[in-house]
Amino acid sequence: MRKFKLSPKVSLVLWLFVFPATLFGLGLWQAERASQTLSQSSALSQELRAMLAQVKKIAESEPGAILTFQGDEGPNSLSAMVAVPQIQTAVDQADEDLEISSIRQPIPWGTAAGALLAFVSAIVGLATAAIAGVRARRSQDQLVKSFERLRNTLPFVFAALIIGICVSTVCASLFEAISIGLWTDLSAASAKLFVAGLVLAGVAIYSAYVALRGLKDVFALFTPEPLDVSGHRIDEAAAPGLFRFVRDLADRQQAVLPDTIIVGLTQGFFVTESALRLWPEDEIVTGRTLYLPAPYLDLLDEPEVAAIIGHELAHFSGKDTIYSQRFTPIYAGLWRSLAALRRAGDHDFVLNPAVLLGFHAIEQFDRAVNHWSRIREFDADRNGTRSTSTVGAASALIRTGLILPALEQVLSHVAGNPPVAESSDTRPDLVSHTSDLVRASGWSDPVPLLEDRQPHPTDTHPPTRQRIQALGLTVDERLLKIATRPPKPQGLTFASGLFSDWKAICAQLSQDYLSQARAMRAAHRQTLQALAAAVPGETIVYNNVKPTIWAMAIIAVIFIGFGLTVTVLPAETGFANDDFTRILVAGVAMFGVAGCGIYVVYLQKSAARPLMILTPTELQTSMLDTPVAWIDVAAHQVFASNRFALRLWMDPSALLPAKKRRALYSKVDRKEHVVTLGAMGIRGMKPAEFSELIGRYHNAAHASKELSRSASEAQTIAADDLRWFRSS
């Protein structure tokens, strides 16, 4: 059955308007009830006190005088002496009701005030988001300013919204809980309602505490975090040609020079003024930074590199990196904040309105962000062509998109199988190998890549085709032929002339990547070994028939009681004059008792046999004709709602076992490739414990399989890698 889910707009209206309005109406209704009850309690107290004074005077002069009182059940006559303590009791009760009414009278206004605070907070939040979103479309500067105002306002709006809902919920619950004290016919049900009201109020208070405590983390999440980047800082001594090239481009564009140039392996070209955390040195880099990917440099010619670096320097001159430094971190911070609130809101209804309001607010900026991102990239493309030709710029856009698949193929190969033994002549150079792969295999089809966006760590870029069209060119055969020309031979590339020792830099970047790949692979292997070692050997589990036996015993007692009643008390049960029916009913009862007894004996015998035998390699069970190998199980789940069952999703290539006839509650679905093993339960285990046990066997088998496969393939892979890298 498909789960019904409200649309975001409907949820927003319900939580921000309907829910507070309902609480506000409830508060007004409670206030009216409180006012009426207070007036009635006050009048009754005064009336009873006056009556008590009169009766006391009569009792002092004539204790035996008979007085008639009008009650709910009619007139009631009592002597004056007897009436005094009863009236005193009524006065005490009326005073207690008056005190309760006085205590609860202001509480409804808390319900209404909290709801009003939540409603106003929602209006303020929505209005702020709408105004900020409109202003953000006017200019980049307005985008940053509007967003800063919004992110400074939202936490306080969130806090007011949460406090308002919590105050309203707590007051409404307390009012109804206190109101139970005014009931004259208190009972066990009344006491349960009172406790329920207090529990609901307690839950609301605790939810408010947790929500507000978590809300303070929103401020911390806005703090920009350094961007993690893998690469090396390059100085002018290591790349004199590169620094001259960049200075020349900056002079021609009248652009600002970067403070730092980083050469890496795995990212695309980008510039930023945000803080970077450089790996593997764990160094924090600040200021204007230009990042250059070595594999791209090795496959691009001078006009293409000039176009790309000119494009990136244009971001400096256009103050785009300042925009990114001010806007991108807080924009990402707000997303992190809302994601954290959403995770908390899944278990806390108090946070739902704040989460919905937050996501609605940030969505108002998405269109403006995309709009200005496109404009910034188009402007940077045009400025970048000042340092080269438009054809070079267009070719660079296509060629960088083609480099990425080749680079990913190389990196994924060595990440999965990093070479272990290295020497000076076999140390891999992933940069040159990427170029060699293109020389040997050619480029991939460029047409599907024209709609892709260039990789960038902070902003989205427009599609490549649109960027080329914005330069005044069309993607034709001539342009594609230029972009897909073969790479130059090693040592003759444009990049090799920019650095003092280009090969050493590429080797160092490759070594860093391989070291990280080995560390990740070693950690993965340790995880597999831990999973494989966690298997507990052989485990025998039995069907838990005890609850069913108890149920049969209770049913048998009911049958016995019914049969004895009909037999011993025929007159009282209406069977005194119908011997046949009495005998028939008694016989049915005896048959029921016998049936329960036979079923109990069957259960006890079946419980003595193992339900399942779990071994490190397979699951054996009497419900199937053949065991189930753990490596053939893709996933599993234990169900315990209606009937206990272990469901196994089998690998599509696995041979399915057949179900035995006596396994009534088991099933083998060959169409869906699912095996379901039914039971009454697992003796001595809760469903979660049994599921964890199955998971240990399942994970251990797959871990052992992967370890065995890795060991058998290691020699072949190592030899292939040695030949692969030597050929590079």
Q: Is 457 helix (H, G, I), strand (E, B) or coil?
A: coil
Long-range own/partner contacts, residues 721-725 (CB < 8 A, 24 or more apart): 721/414, 721/417, 721/419, 721/428, 722/419, 722/421, 722/426, 724/433, 725/419, 725/426, 725/427, 725/428, 725/429, 725/433
- pLDDT band for 39, please (50, 70, 90 cuts): confident
Q: Which helix (H) or strand (E) holds 389?
A: none
Cβ pair 137, 123 in contact under 8 A: no
Q: What is the pLDDT of residue 333?
A: 65
The string of DSSP codes covering 55-107 is: HHHHHHH-TT-EEEEEETTEEEEEEHHHHHHHHHHHHHHHHHHHHHHHHHTTH
Mean predicted confidence (pLDDT) in 210-238 = 71
- pLDDT band for 727, please (50, 70, 90 cuts): very low
Q: Would you call 4 exposed, middle or buried from its count of C-beta atoms within 10 A (0-12, 13-18, 19+)?
A: exposed
Give me the chain's average pLDDT, please: 79
Mean predicted confidence (pLDDT) in 105-109 = 87
Other beta carbons within 10 Å of 558: 14
Tell which wins on pLDDT, 663 or 343.
663
Please, which residues have CB within 8 angstroms of residue 260's CB and are 6 or more apart in sequence?
233, 285, 287, 288, 289, 290
Report the range out of 186-190, 235-239, 577-581 with the highest average pLDDT.
Answer: 235-239
Cβ pair 407, 495 in contact under 8 A: no
Q: Look at 102-111, 147-156, 181-190, 250-259 and tell me which has the smallest mean pLDDT.
A: 181-190
Cβ pair 169, 110 in contact under 8 A: no
CA atoms within 13 A on the CB side of 237: 0
Each residue of 389-406: pLDDT tens digit? Answer: 788 888 888 998 899 899
- pLDDT band for 317, please (50, 70, 90 cuts): low
Q: What is the pLDDT of residue 197?
A: 55
Q: What is the pLDDT of residue 452?
A: 56
Percent of the chain with pLDDT over 70: 77
Each residue of 515-560: pLDDT tens digit? Answer: 888 888 888 888 888 888 888 889 999 988 888 888 888 888 888 8
Q: Is-above-0.75 flag for pTM?
A: no
The string of DSSP codes covering 538-566 is: -EEE-B--HHHHHHHHHHHHHHHHHHHHH
Each residue of 121-177: pLDDT tens digit? Answer: 999 988 888 888 788 777 767 777 787 787 778 878 888 888 888 888 888 877 877
CA atoms within 13 A on the CB side of 523: 7
- pLDDT band for 198, please (50, 70, 90 cuts): low
Q: Look at 87-101, 157-171, 447-461 and tell me which has the smallest mean pLDDT.
A: 447-461
CA atoms within 13 A on the CB side of 258: 32
Q: What is the pLDDT of residue 101?
A: 77
Q: Residue 579 corresponds to which amino acid?
A: D
Rounded CA gap, 627 and 426, in Å?
48
Q: Is 476 helix (H, G, I), strand (E, B) or coil?
A: coil
In terms of Cα–Cα distance, which of 608, 568, 598, 602 is closest to 585? Answer: 568
The string of DSSP codes covering 215-256 is: HHHHHHHTSPPPEEEEEEEE-TTT-HHHHHHHHHHHHHHTPP
Tell which wins on pLDDT, 410 or 708.
410
Rounded CA gap, 499 and 506, in Å?
11
Each residue of 42-71: pLDDT tens digit? Answer: 888 888 888 888 878 877 877 777 777 766
Cβ pair 232, 505 in contact under 8 A: yes
Each residue of 594-619: pLDDT tens digit? Answer: 998 998 888 888 888 898 999 999 99
How is residue 440 written in tokens?
Answer: 């040997």
Q: Look at 17-21, 192-196, 466-470, 530-534 and tell me which has the smallest mean pLDDT.
A: 192-196
How is residue 282 written in tokens?
Answer: 């764990």
Pairing of strands 667-669, 283-285: unpaired
Each residue of 671-719: pLDDT tens digit? Answer: 889 999 988 888 888 888 898 999 999 999 999 888 887 766 554 544 4
Q: Residue 546 corresponds to which amino acid?
A: K
Q: What is the pLDDT of residue 204?
A: 60
Please, which residues have CB within 8 angstroms of residue 218's CB and are 6 or more apart in sequence?
154, 155, 158, 337, 340, 341
In terms of Cα–Cα distance, which of 335, 379, 389 is closest to 358? Answer: 335
Tell which wins on pLDDT, 503 or 215.
503
Cβ pair 139, 118 in contact under 8 A: no
Residue 436 pLDDT > 80, yes or no? yes
In terms of Cα–Cα distance, which of 677, 689, 616 is closest to 648? Answer: 677
Report the range out of 356-365, 409-418, 547-556, 572-581 with the highest average pLDDT.
Answer: 547-556
Rounded CA gap, 328 and 317, in Å?
18
Rounded CA gap, 162 and 205, in Å?
11
Q: Residue 476 corresponds to which amino acid?
A: D
Pairing of strands 270-272, 66-71: unpaired
Each residue of 372-391: pLDDT tens digit? Answer: 666 667 666 666 667 677 88
Residue 408 pLDDT > 70, yes or no? yes
Residue 301 pLDDT > 50, yes or no? yes
